[in-house]
Amino acid sequence: MLDDPLKLVHITGVASMNYSALKILTQGLTGNKGWKPAWRDPQPKDSYDVVIVGGGGHGLSTAHYLAKIYGITKVAVLEKGWLGSGNIGRNTTIIRSNYMLPGNEPFYELSLKLWEGLEQDFNYNAMVSQRSILNLFHSDPQRDAFVRRANAMILAGADAELADQAQLRRELPFLDFDNARFPIKGGLYQRRGGTVRHDAVAWGYARGADSRGVDIIQNCEVTGFHIENGKCSGVETSRGPIKARKVAVCVAGSSSSVMAQAGMRLPIESHVLQAFVTEGLKPTLPGVITFGAGHFYVSQSDKGGLVFGGDIDGYNSYAQRGNLPVVEDVAEGGMAIMPMIGRARLLRSWGGIMDMSMDGSPFIDKTHIDGLYFNGGWCYGGFKATPASGLCYAHLLATDAPHPVATELRLDRFKRGHLIDEKGQGSQPNLH
């Protein structure tokens, strides 16, 4: 077991550094003809030590840390489409650790620390930008709740800063402070929060895993599990059977349908979450801003567009597209705090499939089937958790023991009564 996983990650981060300023210069002088693919396109082997189902952020980060920290390289990552075609390729890119409960806050703080060293770790430009995140509050009781949250964050080693209205008027004069329904009275800052380029995260982890011998196999859908006498010994795929000592599932919104093939019914529902991008604008937002009286969050991408979203669609669906009422609801939330957003032209929208859990918190755990492991239930929090999720999942796969910050993220917590309900909404997945 690692006493300090961060320390080892950064020490071993120099393993395969192929990108450098010198290489960019030499390639530029030679017509950029010497670049090679960032990862291979191998044929699946007959067997592996570990098969990871899902080639998104969490699956790729798990493979990266398995190979890098634990030296387990006989690993295959199976993706039914192309790499990063799920939620990692369609999200609002926000990173933060402004949680409150003991089962969540240390985990997300570990993730944020890993984000801070990620580009050096896998030698790839993921555009980690710690431009801050601000949660607005609109009433005195909400301010008190944010003070409580800030104290919990500080106790867990994170940063938190309470800003009053006067400070925000100076820093963000474009907000509608005197809105009759939702006056802005202040906000909770986490200055270390911010944004990361989502697809570059998938590419960086894929490259890091591939360089250490991991097979990343695209267009390879898992269609069943080989289970006999309570033990999983591999998977059936669209490209033939693959044997494995351990099978690790992390397929986000597809969790329920994939695990049903193993005879498991999960405390999870699948819902669609839409996100939106405006035309490219001059620098407009200094950081991420969220609406405290409704569900709206907005940031500015590296390309200049405003990226924003809000509530899930509210009905169960596996569709990667949303419905129009939610577009209206999200736009109303933006207009309530930032009327200037109404002048921006909307370029595109998309939907990601969220695996909403019964208490709003994730699972990283062994199942009752020997050799079968599960990672899912991330609700809205999947992207920001990518590094810690992969690290903790890799630790579980390598040691068969939960990582110290993921001990509460077990499947049996409903049986034990140890729910991690960050919002206090009860067992209704679409409310989390």
- Per-residue pLDDT averaged across 267-296, rounded? 94
Q: Which of 203-217, 237-251, 311-325 has the lowest mean pLDDT?
A: 311-325
Query: What pLDDT does residue 2 have?
Result: 44
Q: Residue 4's pLDDT is what?
A: 52
User: What is the C-alpha to C-alpha distance for residues 100 and 314, in angstroms, rounded to an integer?
Assistant: 25
Task: Work out the average pLDDT over 109-122.
Answer: 96
Higher pLDDT, 5 or 303: 303
Average pLDDT over residues 221-230: 96
* pLDDT at residue 17 tops 60: no
Confidence check: pLDDT of 390 > 80: yes
Specify the pLDDT at position 158: 95
Which CATH number among 3.40.50.300, 3.30.420.40, 3.30.70.20, 3.50.50.60 corresponds to the domain 5-10+40-125+197-268+359-431?
Answer: 3.50.50.60
- Residue corresponding to tokens 């003809």: 33
HSE-CB of 327 using CA atoms within 13 angstroms: 13
Domain boundaries, the chain: 5-10+40-125+197-268+359-431, 133-191+269-357
Contact indicator for 366, 247 with CB cutoff of 8 Å: no
Question: What CA–CA distance (Å, rounded) separates 39 from 207?
Answer: 5
pLDDT for 323 beyond 50: yes
Rounded Cα–Cα distance for residues 280 and 347 (Å): 9
- Give the pLDDT band (50/70/90) at residue 81: very high
Specify the residue for token string 């998938």: 202
pLDDT-derived band at 357, boundaries 50, 70, 90: very high
Alpha-carbon distance of 164 to 170, in angstroms, equals 10
Buried b (16+ CB within 10 A) or exposed e, 29-65: eeeeeeeeebbeeeebeeebebbbbbbbbbbbbbbbb
Name the residue with higher pLDDT: 287 or 381: 287
CATH class of 133-191+269-357: alpha beta
Percentage of the chain exceeding pLDDT 70: 96
Whether the per-residue pLDDT at 270 is higher than 60: the answer is: yes
Q: Left if phi > 0, otherwise alpha if psi is -120 to 50, otherwise beta: which for 343?
A: alpha
Q: What is the mean pLDDT of the chain?
A: 92
Mean pLDDT of 417-431: 84
Does pTM surpass 0.85? yes
What is the mean predicted confidence (pLDDT) over 215-232?
97
Per-residue pLDDT, 6: 52
* Residues whose CB is less than 8 angstroms from the CB of residue 124 and which lie 6 or more positions away in sequence, other chains included: 19, 200, 203, 204, 207, 208
20-61 pLDDT tens trace: 899 999 999 999 998 888 899 999 999 999 999 999 999 999
**Stretch 86-92: mean pLDDT, rounded?**
88
> What percentage of the chain exceeds 90 in pLDDT?
83
Residue pLDDT, tens place only, 119-172: 999 999 999 999 999 999 999 999 999 999 999 999 989 999 999 999 999 999
Instruction: Pick 12 or 220 by higher pLDDT.
Output: 220
Average the pLDDT over 215-242 and give the result: 97
**Rounded distance between C-alpha atoms, residue 370 and residue 356, angstroms:** 25
CB atoms within 10 A of CB 26: 12
- Of the given ranges (50-54, 254-258, 370-374, 379-383), which has the lowest mean pLDDT? 379-383
